[in-house]
Chain A
Amino acid sequence: MKIKNAHLTHSSGPLGQDLHLKAGEITLLGGDSGSGKTSLMLCISGFKDLKAGEMEPAPQAVAMLLQNPFHQIIMQKAYDELLFPMKNAGMADGEAQAELSKIANMLKIEHLLDRDMNTLSFGETQLLMIAATCLSPANIYCFDEATSHLDPPYIKLFYAVLRYLADKNKIILASTQSLDEYAFADNVIILNKGSIQDVYSKAEWKNQLKKASIKTDRQLIINKLEGLAK
């Protein structure tokens, strides 16, 4: 999918470069708060219109997880919440249940399936809604800071599920603030004030981290622990 000559919002500048999102790849969006990560995803998902520019082909069947997962809850029971997007798309019961168990197993959320949605914690809700988004039949998947309340083991599982979707030839777009998560992606796009600042491949991004001597959370934690040991 290509986004050409785009201008995201009224208050920001033009995107600057054309954006090419490839099927089968995980693309991560980075950048400061207010840089346009959410706006870009909302435009792709059709919640918002581009101020200018066009998307080719026009995106169809997009599943998006919003920044606040509570805004997307439809059903009362967790199991029904996961089943709903597939039933809504007319999928057969058996097929839907098989897919549900597969994703639930990958994300290790089987123990949550019989809970009421309103008894779940923020992190648990986020996991459940990640699963619900992944289970929605779509060609493009957008995840807006979906890992904001997850701890490291679950973040790994999340990216494993994204890889599973990418392997099915879907377009995957996710935003994050954590530098550690870039290791899981194929491409990294850094936004700044509504414009694309840089586009990196995985290898280029690694070099960039080294070149600019940017430290990831992991490295900072190890440094702290070494300091404590002394």
Chain B
Amino acid sequence: MKLLPFTFKINDDLCLINTLKIDLKNQRSETRNKRPEIRNQESGIRNQESGIRNHPCLAILGPVGSGKSLLIKLLADSNLHEIAAYSDYPFCAYLSQDLTRLFTGNSIASLLEIYQDKRYSVGQHFNKTLFDTVAEKFELTQLIKENRRLMHYSEGERQRLGISLAAAVEAKVTILDEPTTALNIKHRLALYDMIREMKSRTKVIIISHRFLDCLSVADHFIRMENLEIKEHFTLKEIIEKEHILSYYLG
């Protein structure tokens, strides 16, 4: 079945992440088109996977180019449909990092029409009432009424629309990749509230280079570096991680 941009299948059993570090390296190498190998390797992460699984919001930290988005793309199976290992997992809502690629040319009304089309997987999971509630929170109601072409909205307005769409897709896992791009502080705080509410019905995975985003919503953290997961820890443990604090606070 062909899936729409915001919705992919995902493995919600995060213990598989430890096998992904091998795949990530393959992805970035010259043999990009080769089928990535999946090896079962025991590691600390696997042993403590139940700990990770119990936390409703997971944040992925790491410097630019450390593989955060790549990990998410692999989990969300967006461009690796040949990896059968991830294909049996439930549906997930996905807010991509690069909205303009998904949006250009459509009006909001036509986009909403596609999102409500029951022929697609996304249509079967899309909740219009939920969308309206979230859109109101992000001050989008007037903009939606105007129904301009999407390219005529500003990046911040498109970002808020993207967040509302992803939040209105009812799935076991919701992935938000840099959701606070182009948002002002007021809308960022609204987003934090939204994520806290969402946690009761879906697992949230958030990537953000803004440390405040992760601190405000996440219960558990993964730190990546050079395409590998270096460590994982809970929110309480973060105050002891001096290397992370000095990285973000200078």
Contacts and interface: CB of A to CB of B under 8 A. Distances in A.
B184 to A, nearest CB: 5
A220 B185 CA distance: 11
A71 to B, nearest CB: 7
Contacts of B63: 151, 153-154
Contact of B212 (A151, A156, A177, A224): A224
B64 to A, nearest CB: 3
A121 B236 CA distance: 30
Contacts of B65: 112, 120-121, 123-124
B182 A67 contact: yes
A62 B96 CA distance: 31
Interface residues of B, number: 43
A217 B250 contact: no
Give the secondary structure class of A's interface: helix
Interface string A172-193: 0000011100000000000000
Given A32-B184, A33-B183, A152-B247, A70 B101 contact: yes
A178 B209 CA distance: 12
B154 A38 contact: yes
Interface string B63-105: 1110111100000000000000000000000000110110000
Interface stretch (B1-9, B52-60, B116-124, B156-164): B156-164
Interface of A: 32-34, 38, 67-68, 70-71, 112, 119-124, 127, 145, 148-154, 156, 177-179, 217-218, 220-222, 224-225, 228-229
11 contacts: A32-B186, A33-B156, A145-B181, A151-B209, A177-B182, A177-B183, A177-B184, A221-B215, A225-B215, A228-B236, A228-B239
